C-alpha cells in the first residue's frame, strides 16, 4: 500500500522548556497521523483495491471467500465487440461535450468578466444556475422534451406544423445535455481567471500599439490559457465518467459508453463483475492520466498576477453586439433551465401520460396540481427524503470532521505521513464514481460487520467519495488562517488541543460551515455511487427519482419529485453562497 514510517511522536506536553537552538520553533506533531492515515486508506484505498483484485482474480469478492487465485482470463472482455464501440463513444462524447461546455462557459465568463453585456449580474447567475440542477435530472427532463415520439418539443413542432424531429436519444442529445450541464464548471474557473487578470498587462498592449482585438489575441487569451486548459481537462474527466446522463439518453438510443457498459456487465445475470472490474481499471487509467495532465498544466503555468493596486479589469465595449450576445445567454438559460423545469412541471401536473398535441391540455381535468400534494404525502417520498436527509447530514458532518483532521495534519504539522495522507485523500478524484461504487459494494459485502443494507454503508461511501472536495474546502480555509494566532495561545499557556478548539476552529467557522454545506449538497445529489449500494429499505431521493423514471410506470410522481428535489437543491446551494462572503459575485 504505502511505505510510510512515522517516528513515534515526541511527548507533546514536554515539561522541559526545550533549550535546543537547533529546532527553535517546534511545530505541533499532529493529532496522531498514523490512525488517521489508516482510516482514510481504509475508506478509499480498500475499495479501489477490491476493484483491482476483481479484475485479475478468478471470482468476484464474496462474503467469507476473498480469493487470491489470479488470472488474466477476464482481459478477454476487450475483444467483445461492444467494448471498442463503447470506448470510442465515450471519447467522442467526452471531447465534443467538453468543447461545448468550454464554448458556453468561456463565452459567459468573458461576457460577464470583461464586457459591458447588459444585466451582468443576471448573466453571471445564468452561468451558475445549472449547478443547482443535477445532471441526471437535466437528462430526465430532456428525455421528456426530446424523445422522438412523445417528446414535448416534438409535439409542439407537430402542432405548429414544422416537419422536424428532435431526437435526444442520440449522440447529439448526450453531447448537448452533458455540455450544457458541465458548462458551469468551465464558467467558474475561467471567470475567476479573467477577472483576476492584472489590467496593466492589457493596458500595456494597448499603449504599445495593439488594437483591442490584437490585445485579446496576444495577451488576454494566452494569459487565460492555463485556466481554459485546466477546466477543459476537469470537465472532460467528469463527462467521461458520467453514468446517469448516458444511461438516460444514450442507452435508449442503443449507444453504449464505458460507464453504461460497466453497469450492464454488473447487472447482467449472472453478474459479470470480473469483466466489469477490468473495464473499470481501463476507465481509471484514462481518468488518472487526464487528471495528472491537468495538475501539471495548472502547476506549471500560473499567470494569475495580482498587483498591489486596486484591480479594475478593463471592460470591453460590445457596441451594437450587446443585445445579440445577451440573447445568446438567454438561449442557454432557456435550454438548460427553463425548458427542462417546464417539462418536469408539465409532466407532473398532466393527468394522462399520453399526449398527442398541446391542445389536449385544454380539456377539463387534463391538468391537476394535486400530484405535488400526493407526492409530498406518499410513503415513498417521505421515506426517501428522510433517508436522504439523515444520510446527507451525517456524512457531511463526518466528512467535514475527517477533512478538518486531515487538513490540520497536512498543513499545520510536521507529521511524516502528511504527504501520504493528502495523496490518499485526493485519490477519489481519479476514480470514477461508478468504479468506486463497485469497490465499496464489494468491500462492505466482504467485511465481517453487518453494514451492507443499512444507511450506514451509504454514509461511509459518501464520506469516502467526497474526501477530496472536503479537504479542498478545509485546506483553503486553514491556509488563510494565520498559524501564529494559534501558536500564540500555546505560548500563553493553552494546550495545543485547547488552542485549536478555542482559536483555530472559531476563526475557520465560515470555512467549516461552507465545507459542511457543500458536502451536504454533494451527498444529496449523488446518484452513481449509491446505485450499487442501496437496497429496498435504504432508498434515497436521487435513487428513487432515477428508479421511477427508469421503470417508466410512475412518470408523474417522478416528475413531481424531481421538481421538489430541485427546490431543495436550490436552497442548499444558495446557503453556502450567502455564507461564503459572496466573493464570486462580479
Per CB under 8 A, 303 contacts another protein? yes
Angle in degrees, CA 63, 2, 451, rounded to 5: 25
**Shortest Cβ 263–another protein spacing (Å):** 43
Count of residues near another protein by CB under 8 A: 24
Q: Does 116 bind another protein (CB under 8 A)?
A: no
Helices (H), 57-197: 81-114, 120-128, 135-146, 152-159, 171-195
Which CB atom, from 230 or from 259, has the smaller least distance to another protein?
Answer: 230
Residue 159 sits in the site that holds another protein (CB under 8 A)? no
Question: By CB under 8 A, which span of 195-203, 270-278, 331-339, 353-361 interacts with another protein?
Answer: 195-203
Task: Check residue 307 for interaction with another protein (CB under 8 A).
Answer: yes
| Least distance CB 586 / another protein (angstroms) | 19
Torsion sign over Cα 306, 403, 183, 83: positive
Nearer to another protein (CB atom), residue 201 or residue 568 = 201
> CA-to-CA distance for 433 and 456, rounded, in angstroms?
18
- Residue 203 vs 550, nearer CB to another protein: 203
Beta bridge partners, 12, equal: none
Q: Is 223 in the site for another protein (CB under 8 A)?
A: yes
Name which of 23, 50, 27 is nearest 273 in CA terms. 50
Q: Contact region for another protein (CB under 8 A) — 168-176, 220-228, 439-447, 537-545? A: 220-228
Applying CB under 8 A, the span of 153-161, 164-172, 221-229, 275-283 interacting with another protein comes to 221-229
To another protein, the closest distance from the beta carbon of 219 in angstroms equals 6
Q: Which of residues 561-580 bind another protein (CB under 8 A)?
A: none
Q: Binding to another protein by residue 228, rule CB under 8 A?
A: no
Residue 100 interacts with another protein (CB under 8 A): yes or no: no
Site string for another protein, 262-301 (x = CB under 8 A): ---------------------------------------x
Cis amide prior to 270 (ω within 30 degrees):
yes
Residue 99 Cβ, how far from another protein at the closest point, in Å? 23
Q: Tell me the three cell numbers of residue 298.
A: 495548472
Quote the least distance from Cβ 269 to another protein, whole Å: 56
Shortest Å distance, C-beta 505 to another protein: 38
The cell numbers describing 352, all together, are 394522462
Smallest gap from Cβ 201 to another protein, in A, equals: 5
- At closest approach, how far in Å is the CB of 35 from another protein? 43
**180 near another protein, rule: CB under 8 A:** no
Question: What is 321-352 written as a DSSP string?
Answer: GHHHHHHHHHHHHIIIIIHHHHHHHHHHHBS-
Work out how close the CB of 4 gets to another protein at its nearest, in angstroms, rounded to a whole number: 35
CB 496 within 8 A of CB 429: no
The nearer residue to another protein, 152 or 205, going by C-beta atoms, is 205
Which residue, among 424, 142, 431, 81, has the nearest Cα to 283 in the 3D structure? 431
Residue 191 Cβ, how far from another protein at the closest point, in Å?
A: 20
What burial letters (b/e) apply to 51-87, b meaning 16+ CB within 10 Å? bebbbbbeebbeeeeeeeeeeeebeebeeeeebeebb
- Tell me the closest approach of the beta carbon of residue 214 to another protein, in angstroms: 7
Residues 451 and 71 sit within 8 Å (Cβ to Cβ): no
Report the candidate in 542, 534, 540, 538 with the shortest Cα–Cα distance to residue 565.
542
Q: What residues from 199 to 218 belong to the interface with another protein (CB under 8 A)? A: 200-201, 203-211, 214, 218
- State the binding string over 387-426 for another protein (x if CB under 8 A, else -): ----------------------------------------
List the grid coordinates of 203. Answer: 493596458
Strands, E, within 205-323: which ranges? none
Q: Is 219 in the site for another protein (CB under 8 A)?
A: yes
**Cα separation, 199 vs 218, whole angstroms:** 14
For residues 230, 188, 435, 297, the Cα torsion angle rounded to the nearest 10 degrees is 10
**Site string (434-453) toward another protein, x via CB under 8 A:** --------------------
> Helix (H) and strand (E) counts for the chain?
27, 0
Report the alpha-carbon distance of residue 59 to residue 51 in Å, rounded: 12
Q: Does position 311 bind another protein by CB under 8 A?
A: no
- Spatial neighbors of 185 by CB under 8 A, at least 6 apart, are 101, 105, 231, 234, 235, 238
Contact footprint for another protein (CB under 8 A): 198, 200-201, 203-211, 214, 218-219, 222-223, 225, 301, 303, 305, 307-309
Amino acid at each position: 500500500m504505502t511505505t510510510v514510517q512515522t517516528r513515534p511522536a515526541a511527548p507533546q506536553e514536554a515539561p522541559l522548556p526545550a533549550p535546543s537552538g537547533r529546532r527553535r520553533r517546534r511545530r505541533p506533531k499532529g493529532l496522531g497521523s498514523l490512525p488517521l492515515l489508516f482510516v482514510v486508506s481504509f475508506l478509499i484505498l480498500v475499495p479501489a483495491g477490491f476493484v483491482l483484485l476483481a479484475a485479475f482474480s478468478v471470482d468476484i469478492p464474496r462474503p467469507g471467500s476473498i480469493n487470491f487465485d489470479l488470472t488474466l482470463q477476464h482481459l478477454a472482455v476487450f475483444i467483445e465487440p461492444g467494448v471498442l464501440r463503447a470506448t470510442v463513444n465515450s471519447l467522442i462524447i467526452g471531447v465534443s461535450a467538453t468543447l461545448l461546455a468550454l464554448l458556453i462557459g468561456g463565452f459567459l465568463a468573458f461576457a460577464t468578466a470583461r464586457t459591458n453585456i447588459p444585466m451582468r449580474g443576471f448573466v453571471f447567475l445564468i452561468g451558475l444556475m445549472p449547478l443547482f440542477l443535477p445532471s441526471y435530472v437535466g437528462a430526465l427532463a430532456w428525455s421528456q422534451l426530446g424523445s422522438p415520439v412523445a417528446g414535448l418539443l416534438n409535439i409542439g413542432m407537430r402542432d405548429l406544423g414544422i416537419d422536424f424531429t428532435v431526437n435526444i436519444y442520440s449522440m447529439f442529445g448526450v453531447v448537448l445535455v452533458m455540455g450544457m450541464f458541465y458548462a458551469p464548471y468551465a464558467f467558474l474557473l475561467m471567470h475567476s481567471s479573467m477577472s483576476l487578470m492584472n489590467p496593466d498587462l492589457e493596458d500595456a498592449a494597448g499603449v504599445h500599439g495593439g488594437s483591442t482585438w490584437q490585445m485579446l489575441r496576444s495577451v488576454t487569451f494566452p494569459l487565460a490559457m492555463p485556466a481554459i486548459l485546466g477546466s477543459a481537462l476537469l470537465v472532460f474527466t467528469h463527462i467521461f465518467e458520467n453514468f446517469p446522463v448516458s444511461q438516460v439518453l444514450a442507452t435508449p438510443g442503443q449507444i453504449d459508453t464505458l460507464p453504461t457498459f460497466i453497469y450492464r456487465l454488473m447487472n447482467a445475470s449472472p453478474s459479470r463483475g470480473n469483466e466489469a472490474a477490468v473495464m473499470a481499471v481501463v476507465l481509471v487509467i484514462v481518468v488518472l492520466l487526464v487528471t495528472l495532465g491537468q495538475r501539471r498544466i495548472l502547476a506549471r503555468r500560473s499567470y494569475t498576477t495580482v498587483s498591489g493596486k486596486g484591480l479594475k479589469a478593463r471592460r470591453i465595449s460590445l457596441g451594437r453586439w450587446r443585445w445579440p450576445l445577451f440573447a445568446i445567454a438567454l438561449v442557454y438559460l432557456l435550454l438548460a433551465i427553463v425548458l427542462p423545469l417546464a417539462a418536469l412541471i408539465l409532466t407532473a401536473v398532466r393527468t394522462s401520460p399520453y399526449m398527442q398535441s398541446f391542445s389536449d391540455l385544454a380539456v377539463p381535468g387534463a391538468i391537476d396540481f394535486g400530484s405535488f400534494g400526493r407526492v409530498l404525502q406518499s410513503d415513498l417520498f417521505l421515506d426517501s427524503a428522510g433517508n436522504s436527509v439523515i444520510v446527507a447530514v451525517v456524512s457531511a458532518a463526518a466528512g467535514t470532521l475527517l477533512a478538518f483532521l486531515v487538513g490540520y495534519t497536512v498543513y499545520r504539522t510536521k507529521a511524516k505521513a502528511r504527504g501520504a495522507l493528502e495523496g490518499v485523500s485526493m485519490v477519489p478524484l481519479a476514480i470514477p464514481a461508478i468504479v468506486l461504487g463497485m469497490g465499496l459494494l464489494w468491500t462492505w459485502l466482504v467485511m465481517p460487520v453487518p453494514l451492507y443494507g443499512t444507511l450506514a454503508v451509504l454514509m461511509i461511501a459518501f464520506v469516502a467519495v467526497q474526501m477530496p472536495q472536503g479537504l479542498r474546502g478545509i485546506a483553503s480555509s486553514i491556509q488563510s488562517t494565520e498559524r501564529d494566532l494559534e501558536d500564540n495561545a500555546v505560548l500563553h499557556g493553552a494546550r495545543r488541543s485547547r488552542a485549536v478548539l478555542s482559536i483555530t476552529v472559531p476563526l475557520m467557522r465560515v470555512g467549516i460551515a461552507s465545507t459542511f454545506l457543500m458536502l451536504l449538497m454533494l451527498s444529496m445529489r449523488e446518484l452513481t455511487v449509491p446505485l450499487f449500494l442501496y437496497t429496498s429499505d435504504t432508498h434515497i431521493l436521487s435513487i428513487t427519482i432515477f428508479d421511477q423514471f427508469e421503470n417508466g410506470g410512475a412518470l408523474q410522481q417522478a416528475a413531481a419529485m424531481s421538481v421538489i428535489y430541485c427546490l431543495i437543491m436550490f436552497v442548499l446551494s444558495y446557503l453556502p453562497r450567502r455564507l461564503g462572503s459572496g466573493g464570486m459575485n462580479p
